[in-house]
Amino acid sequence: MAYLNENYFKLKAGYLFPEIGRRVSAYCTANPEAARRLIRCGIGDVTEPLPPAVVTALHRAVDDMAMRETFKGYGPEQGYEWLRSAIAQNDFRNHGLEIADDEIFVSDGSKCDCGSILDILGNRNKIAISDPVYPVYVDTNVMAGHTGAANAAGAYAKLVYLPCRPSNGFIPEPPRKHVDVIYLCSPNNPTGAAASREQLAAWVKYALENQAIILFDAAYEAYITDPAIPHSIYEIPGARECAIEFRSFSKNGGFTGVRCAFTVVPKTLLGRTTTGERKPLHPLWSRRMTTKFNGVSYLVQRAAEALYSPEGKAQVRGLIEHYLGNAQVLRGGARKAGLKVFGGVNAPYIWVRTPKAVSSWQAFDEILTQASVVITPGSGFGSKGEGFFRISAFNSRANAEEVARRLQELKWPARP
Ligand code: MLT
């Protein structure tokens, strides 16, 4: 009988969102009436249709595939040259950031890339993650055998947790001890906080001094409204020598169902071998992609390219403004309900403190059963998320307004 990867047995219950889905389905089956008024503000999944520029590009790409002269089979695993170039030019070089076309690797999602990047990192690294955090960073390290077992609070041995609290504005500070790999997400999922230039500069300084690598998840960069907040880690001098950046079309172009993202691996970024040799990561990631991945489909890459056309850019702006408008509505509703609210200004997530003595999962249950609204319990993102819940602003405006109204009608259990 074949042996199993026993690291999987260390994982806590199910992945957060399927677990929420399971609880919501059970509730809906038992309460069909309530199920009809259910509004989902749990997983951050877009609700609005694709931008028209994307739809046109998709139709055209289908026509290309229908004719012998323009038909495409396998494409380059790293992405078509025209898309890599559009990305590097529009997202980086137009902003004065020196990123070459071949430092862009097109993929089918940032979640996959955040997990797959571990393929090219060794297993001796000390890994630092924020708490609360996007669970993928933790779970993929557990699966790869980089952690020990979890304790009762869900914290895994061997990981270095960086607490994110109201007192540090939910942005982690560099630790006093040495770590080799740091996951940073800004604007942050789940807290909605966005790191300032000074905060990111402190991290780049730390990474350069410690010869560490920053894995910078910028999936929500399009939601930044404050002009002082960096959109890319490469806005910080020195980041080309210490950071990989993950970007996604899911939350700006509405591609959660289309699937397209990209990862930036600068050629100047080095790691070391166990014998002390310094080597670039870029060829390793290229080798990994060409071996384990056959590229994103031609149709989807044409769809992504359309996001960089003048019409595409304007339509993406419209989508972002729509979701940020929802965030304002939800922030207002939660505030009027007497709750303490964070985030939702540079991010599509609102991070809400639960009333005193109400746990995150209790808040989830109360909001589900009283208001028929699905939120995400903060404790699902880590032990420091206990006492908070996350509301996603990805919804129609009518639903956001309705959720804001229902939040104000909640009756919280009396304090013990
Ligand atoms: C979330 O709700 O945290 C996100 O939708 C997860 C993701 O983007 O994978």
Distance from residue 392's CA to the centre of ligand 1 (Å): 10
Residue 24 sits in a domain whose CATH number is 3.90.1150.10
Instruction: With respect to residue 62, please indicate whether it lies within any of the assigned structural domains.
Output: yes
Distance from residue 110's CA to the centre of ligand 1 (Å): 10
Is the CB of 120 inside a 6 Å radius of any atom of ligand 1? no
Looking at the structure, tell me whether residues 68 and 91 fall in a common domain.
yes
Is the CB of 189 inside a 6 Å radius of any atom of ligand 1? yes
Looking at the structure, tell me whether residues 260 and 143 fall in a common domain.
yes
Looking at the structure, tell me whether residues 303 and 327 fall in a common domain.
no
Instruction: With respect to residue 82, please indicate whether it lies within any of the assigned structural domains.
Output: yes
pTM greater than the 0.95 cutoff = yes
The residue behind tokens 């589900």 is 368
Residue 91 DSSP symbol: I
Is the CB of 248 inside a 6 Å radius of any atom of ligand 1? no
Measured between alpha carbons, how far is 46 from 328 in angstroms, rounded to an integer?
A: 17
Mutate-to-test residue for ligand 1 from 15, 45, 249, highest number of ligand atoms within 8 A of CB: 45
Which of 309, 341, 361 corresponds to the end of one domain? 309
Looking at the structure, tell me whether residues 265 and 343 fall in a common domain.
no
Distance from residue 111's CA to the centre of ligand 1 (Å): 8
Looking at the structure, tell me whether residues 298 and 195 fall in a common domain.
yes
Instruction: With respect to residue 180, please indicate whether it lies within any of the assigned structural domains.
Output: yes
Q: Which domain holds residue 270?
A: 53-309
Is the CB of 111 inside a 6 Å radius of any atom of ligand 1? yes
Distance from residue 317's CA to the centre of ligand 1 (Å): 20
How many CB atoms lie under 10 A from the CB of residue 277? 9
Structure tokens at 323: 């979701």
Instruction: With respect to residue 6, please indicate whether it lies within any of the assigned structural domains.
Output: no
Nearest Cα residue to atom 4 of ligand 1 = 44
Which of 255, 276, 309 corresponds to the end of one domain? 309
Instruction: With respect to residue 245, please indicate whether it lies within any of the assigned structural domains.
Output: yes
Looking at the structure, tell me whether residues 288 and 371 fall in a common domain.
no
Nearest Cα residue to atom 1 of ligand 1 = 44
Instruction: With respect to residue 272, please indicate whether it lies within any of the assigned structural domains.
Output: yes
Is the CB of 112 inside a 6 Å radius of any atom of ligand 1? no
pLDDT number for residue 262: 98
pLDDT number for residue 210: 98
Is the CB of 110 inside a 6 Å radius of any atom of ligand 1? no
Which of 269, 292, 309 corresponds to the end of one domain? 309
Looking at the structure, tell me whether residues 91 and 180 fall in a common domain.
yes
pLDDT number for residue 15: 67
Is the CB of 43 inside a 6 Å radius of any atom of ligand 1? yes
Encoded amino acid at 414, one letter: A
Q: From residue 53, how far is each of 60, 65, 220, 312, 314 by CA, in Å?
A: 11, 19, 21, 5, 10
Instruction: With respect to residue 4, please indicate whether it lies within any of the assigned structural domains.
Output: no
Residue 271 sits in a domain whose CATH number is 3.40.640.10
Looking at the structure, tell me whether residues 247 and 130 fall in a common domain.
yes
Looking at the structure, tell me whether residues 221 and 75 fall in a common domain.
yes
The 10s digit of each residue's pLDDT in 358-382 is 999 999 999 999 999 999 999 999 9
Nearest atom, ligand 1, residue 250 CA: 8
Dihedral over alpha carbons 292, 297, 298, 304 (to 10 degrees): -100
pLDDT number for residue 376: 97
Report the domain count for the chain: 2
**300-332 per-residue burial string, b: 16 or more CB within 10 A, e: under 16:** bbbbbbbbbbeebbebbeebbebbbebbebbbb
Measured between alpha carbons, how far is 138 from 147 in angstroms, rounded to an integer?
A: 9
**3-state SS class at 96:** coil
Instruction: With respect to residue 2, please indicate whether it lies within any of the assigned structural domains.
Output: no
Looking at the structure, tell me whether residues 136 and 160 fall in a common domain.
yes
Is the CB of 40 inside a 6 Å radius of any atom of ligand 1? no
pLDDT number for residue 152: 84
Is the CB of 378 inside a 6 Å radius of any atom of ligand 1? no
Q: For the chain, which residues score pLDDT lower than 70?
A: 13-15, 416
Distance from residue 255's CA to the centre of ligand 1 (Å): 12
pLDDT number for residue 26: 93
Looking at the structure, tell me whether residues 218 and 177 fall in a common domain.
yes
Q: From residue 20, how far is each of 3, 148, 373, 375, 395 by CA, in Å?
A: 31, 25, 12, 9, 18
Looking at the structure, tell me whether residues 261 and 234 fall in a common domain.
yes
